[in-house]
Amino acid sequence: MAEKDTGASFAVGFFLGAVVGVAIGFLYAPKPGKETRAMLKEKAEIAAEKAKETAEKAKEAAIAAEHRVEEKLGRRKPSE
């Protein structure tokens, strides 16, 4: 169980590090400030949407796992 937690923590840290790295790269790019800010805003909106989708999938997976455990423990009928 600890391995999964470590993997998830690594993935989150890696993702956040990548986002910060890209943002810093855009800030130092030789483009006008207005254009850079617009690009950063667009990328941030895309990243937020992906984060929401990932959170929703994780929530659905957790609920499904909970149902499987309850079925195995006999606390829930398979049809629920």
pLDDT band at 2 (very low <50, low <70, confident <90, very high): very low
User: Is residue 79, in this structure, part of any structural domain at all?
Assistant: no
6 inside domain:
yes
Stated pTM of the model: 0.50
Is 80 within a domain?
no
Per the structure block, which two tokens stand in for 44? 């941030």
Instruction: Say what percent of the chain tops pLDDT 90.
Output: 2
Structure token digits, residue 30: 């030789």
- Whether 78 is covered by a domain: the verdict is no
Tokens 């606390």 -> residue: 75
Number of domains in the chain: 1
| AA identity, residue 51 | A
Residue 37, domain extent: 2-73
Task: Provide CB contacts within 8 A for 26, sequence distance 6+.
Answer: 36, 39, 40, 43
Alpha carbons 34 and 43: distance in angstroms, whole number: 14
Tokens of 6: 């470590």
